[in-house]
Structure 1
């Protein structure tokens, strides 16, 4: 379990994610986190693909 507090108000997902990674958060190899389209792209985050016609 990883808890990162001290975020007041609202914050962009990418800011929170980058801050967590710089504070020791690691997604173990072979495991994935389901994320929404606002998260940064990386090997450990499953982000839905948006296709515009």
Structure 2
């Protein structure tokens, strides 16, 4: 943990970059989960709406 505190105290931009990376990873994971959810809901909807 010392290396982390040294890096963060030296460069505030590193902290901003780290936060940006974490947020970006979260956004991509949430988008993927949302798209998977939509696909599953469409599959379920198609089973009820047999034409």
**TM-score, L = length of structure 2:** 0.29
Q: Structure with the greater relative contact order (CA < 8 A, sep ≥ 6): 1 or 2? A: 1
Kindly name which structure, 1 or 2, has the bigger radius of gyration based on alpha carbons: 2
**TM-score, L = length of structure 1:** 0.28
More helix by share: 2
